[in-house]
Chain A
Amino acid sequence: MKNKALIYAAGALVLLVLGVMFLRFELPVVSVSAETLWTVGGFKITNAYFTSVVVTLLIIIVAFVGTRDLKIKNPSGLQNVLEMIVEGLYNLTEGVSGPKWVARFFIVPTTIFIYVLMSNWFGLLPGLAGIGLCQEHHVEAAHAEEAHAEEASHGETAVSSTTCPQGQVIVPFFRSPSADLNNTLMLALVTQVMAQVFGFSALGGGYLKKFFVFGGVAAAFKPDEHGNKRSVGGMMMQLAMGVIDIFVGLLEFLSEFVKIVAFTFRLFGNIFAGEVMLIVLTFLVPVMLTLPFLGLEVFVGAVQAFVFFILSIAFYTVAVTSHDHDEAH
């Protein structure tokens, strides 16, 4: 038992050293925006968008194949998995939103969960970073000069190990859509727009009362709840409370927009940072060291997908809950 562990450890160490000695490669270009693969009629197909299409098709194919022959009794492997996912997320949604809204709430966030999860994990598939097109390395002028200066100072180490010609870099075909702000912004917008739609459909015009609260101020000029005329002090007090209410409402209004930004950058930041970390680690120590971090990123990818899902549900639930109703409780 102990011997075996020792052999494994020694093997890992040897791999690690050999990797550092022989598998060094150039640090790939890290780009915040997704790189363009092809331009079709003025539309830039980026690698992230390309991956998004691939992921979407894969999900649809799996869903189609998995539900083609649904069985009530003794369901088989893929059906079990799909059932588990759908049922689990449905029940989770029901737990947060209650039975009244679950059928409407659950569709978009569940799709987001599956899509984001698959996007995150697709970006982690080993080896995909090395498959792509050779393109001119064009970064913004300022950055380019910096890079050039750096290259000059470490001239002898910058030996290209890729098959691309000198001056070109590999632009991989695949990049996780979650590492593209366009995609995460789209998801955030969809979620937030849906939240407003749900809010209006549940509360009607009353939904706006959450954000534009003038009731408190207006109450200052009316008799109090017992029907007595307010004293000057009472009126000032009520006026102050009303003004606070207005500000709170405006903050909530603002927060609806902040949520979009938060959604966008939370997902993007986590996934993009994870991928950059993996790339840099691979650059430093090509073999073995990245494995625990790969596992970590798998976990992070799942957590981020789940966070997007559960926050959407929570925001929807908040949106359809009336404020007056809340205070009555």
Chain B
Amino acid sequence: MEALGFDFKLIFAYFINFAILVVALRAFAYKPILNLLEERKKKIADGLDSAEKVKEQAERERAKFQTELEKARLSSQEDASKIAQATAEMREQILTEARKEAEAIKERARAEIEAERQSAQSDLRRQVADLTVALTRKVVGQSIDKKAQHDLVGKFLAEMGE
């Protein structure tokens, strides 16, 4: 034993040394570091949790927004179709009115033309009669009075007009 250097005092001294080391490391290293690791673990877990929550929230918002958008699209579509329908109706109405007006204008023009034609015809008839009277007077002289002559011409023209 002596040759190997065993010495109880030394063993005890080493023990004191080691005990101090254990206590010091426990106080300075193990406890603070393990606490820190635990804290960090908790923090990371919290962070992940909150990130998950935020993600969920965002997902929910997105879904909400999506449905809202869908709704808006639907309503706008409805509006558009309604407007299109109204437009078509209005077009139809305008067209009908226009057609009616055109018809009326045409009708009026036709009447006017007819009236014009009537007046022109009667004018022509009178002029022809006058002319004929004049001619006849020229040819026959002043023998026939105006009254007989007119009757004659009127008769003639009536025959011609047939």
Task: Let me know if B148 is at the binding interface, CB within 8 A.
Answer: no
Complex Cα–Cα for A49 and B25 (A): 19
Q: A33-B5, A182-B10, A182-B11 are in contact. List 19 more A-B contacts (CB 8 A).
A: A33-B4, A44-B10, A46-B5, A49-B14, A53-B17, A56-B20, A60-B21, A64-B28, A66-B29, A70-B33, A72-B36, A82-B33, A107-B25, A115-B18, A180-B5, A181-B5, A182-B6, A186-B14, A190-B18
Whether the Cβ atoms of A86 and B11 lie closer than 8 Å is no
- In the bound complex, what is the Cα–Cα distance between A323 and B32 (angstroms)? 36
Contacts of B18 in A (CB 8 A): 56, 111, 115, 186-187, 190
Interface size class of A (residues with CB under 8 A): 35 or more
**A183 / chain B contacts, CB cutoff of 8 Å:** 14
CB of A160 closer than 8 Å to a CB of B: no
**Proximity string of chain B (1-37) to chain A, C-beta cutoff 8 Å, 1 when within and 0 when not:** 0011111011101110110111011101110111011
Judged by a CB distance under 8 angstroms, whether A34 is at the interface is yes
Interface of chain A, helix or strand or loop or mixed?
helix
- Residues from chain B with a CB closer than 8 A to the CB of A140 are 3
Verify B28–A63 contact, CB threshold 8 A.
yes
> Which residue of B6, B26, B30, B34 has the most chain A CB atoms within 10 A of its CB atom?
B30
Q: Is the CB of B36 within 8 A of A83?
A: yes
Checking A52, A70, A83, A106 against B17 with a beta-carbon cut-off of 8 angstroms, the contacting residue is A52
Interface residues of chain B, those whose CB is within 8 Å of chain A, are: 3-7, 9-11, 13-15, 17-18, 20-22, 24-26, 28-30, 32-34, 36-37, 39-40, 43
Q: Residue of B at shortest CB range from A84?
A: B33
Residues of A within 8 A of B (CB): 32-34, 43-44, 46, 49, 52-53, 56, 59-60, 63-64, 66-67, 70, 72, 82-83, 86-87, 90, 106-108, 110-111, 114-115, 140, 177, 180-183, 185-187, 189-190
For A59, A108, A111, which residue has the most chain B Cβ atoms within 10 angstroms? A111
Q: Is the CB of B22 within 8 A of A108?
A: yes
| Chain A residues closer than 8 Å to B37, beta-carbon distance | 83, 86-87
Q: Is the CB of B4 within 8 A of A32?
A: yes
Given the complex of chains A and B, what is the CA–CA distance between A115 and B6 in angstroms? 20
Whether A107 and B26, one on each chain, are in contact in the complex, defined by CB atoms closer than 8 angstroms, is yes
